[in-house]
Amino acid sequence: MRLLARKRPKADPAAPTTARLRCRCAPGSPPAQPRRPPTDQSPAVARASKRAPLRSALVPFKVSTVVPAPLQAPPSLEVPPTVVSDYAKRNPGTAKHRFRRRWLGLDIGSSAVKVVELSRLDESYRVEAFAIEPVPAGSVVAGNISDAGAVGEAIRAACRRAGVKPRHVCAGIRNSAVVTKTLEMDATLDDRELEAEVTREAERHIPFPIEEVAIDFEPLHLSARDPSKVDVLLVACRIEHVAQRQEAADLAGLSLDVVDVESHAAHHAVVHAAENRMPVAFADIGVATSTVMLVDGESAITREEQFILRPDALDDPHAGGPRSGHVVETPNLDSLLALLTRLLRLVLLAGQVESVDRLLLAGGGAAIPGFTERAAKHLGLAVEVADSFRGMAVSARTDRASLTEHAPALFTAAGLAVRGFAEVRS
């Protein structure tokens, strides 16, 4: 952002050398003495009174610190006008949005690449852009990228379609490629000691050589069994899975800042979409994989299983759902409902929860005509289509109706974008 400032007069090259000094003097005359401040002022006050107050009209955030009141200039000295940014002069109503930090959520699926760009001002989010771009068949299999060039081209096309040039990108990795383990560690360890101890424990729990693994961890809370211990969540995956996504992003001209587990990102989105009505069940029905999650505040239990949804069940990835009036074959839906029932029982058993009264549906399969009603009748629950953009503002250049239509397919991408802002806060 360029700020307007007062320009000094250009020096005349033909003028004498003394004309280039701060105090201009006529040739042959004694140099002028520097002006001294009035005797009734201290030098510090005089210097402060000569400075122009650099106040910008672009004030994006409220500052909580207490700032001393500025010193008032004496009436005898002329105070220059306030410096205002050139953008604020042209767009006084939207100038504050220039300070919004933006994150792009990148969801690489078996049938399409989904991108969602969000911005945040204080604690409010705004949807800036989104896009869905198909990937060639076989380029992504069970979450593994087999053709980085094709995926990279799809990412580039999605960003071009959305009209974004992201600087901060958060991508997701499939749950099946990740090993998670909850460890009990000494609560008195500092950060450096905890990292060293977690690394040693990871060698015992991860079935791969430690040099081939990318690991991360996060302290959760004090252990329920031993208050002197703290529960630490360990997450690990093969480096090659991260490298695949980085390679595809590089070919698209992007740089990945964060790679997170897709279920963790979906957890962020579920908490936002559930509006604090916990516990709640969540099901993400993809073309190749279905995931069921039980969310209760900060805790989440996830079960995932591969399920090939018939290709004719969904429309092309641009629509994010089935063709209008198209009816999916009943046997395929019956198998999907049986899978959801089994996974739901598993997460309820693992979470020691007897029952839930609500299920949120996401993914491309959530838009199958009549599936929401059939699922509600089969499971005996209130079934809703999840909307991760609930309560968010929408940019003027984003089609709100199209965003609502494609919201189920964009659920994970939106969660990844929200996860990026969590990285900034940490």
- Provide the residue-wise pLDDT of the chain in tens; the chain has 426 residues: 333 333 444 445 444 433 333 333 444 444 445 445 444 544 443 444 444 343 333 333 333 344 444 444 444 444 344 333 343 344 444 434 444 689 999 999 988 999 999 999 887 899 999 999 999 988 998 788 999 999 999 999 999 999 999 989 999 998 888 888 888 888 888 888 888 888 888 888 888 888 888 888 888 888 888 888 898 988 888 899 999 999 999 999 998 999 999 988 888 888 888 877 788 999 998 888 888 998 887 778 888 887 777 555 554 444 344 443 333 444 478 888 988 999 999 988 888 888 888 999 998 778 888 889 999 999 999 999 988 898 899 999 999 999 999 999 999 999 999 988 876 544
CA distance 136 to 417: 25
Cβ(269)–Cβ(413) below 8 Å: no
In 3D, which of 165, 378, 351 has the Cα closest to residue 254? 165
Q: How many CB atoms lie within 10 A of CB 269?
A: 30
Start-end ranges of CATH 3.30.1490.300 in the chain? 179-237
Residue with tokens 């069921």, as numbered in its chain = 292
Long-range contacts (CB closer than 8 Å, 24 or more residues apart) made by 308-311: 309/285, 309/336, 309/364, 309/365, 311/287
CATH of 98-177+238-425 given 3.30.420.40, 3.30.465.10, 3.40.190.10, 3.90.700.10: 3.30.420.40
Start-end ranges of CATH 3.30.420.40 in the chain? 98-177+238-425
Q: What's the distance, CA 405 to chain centroid?
A: 21
In 3D, which of 343, 346, 347 has the Cα closest to residue 294? 347
Taking the model in full, what pTM does it have?
0.69
Q: Top-level CATH class of 179-237? A: alpha beta
CA distance 416 to 260: 8
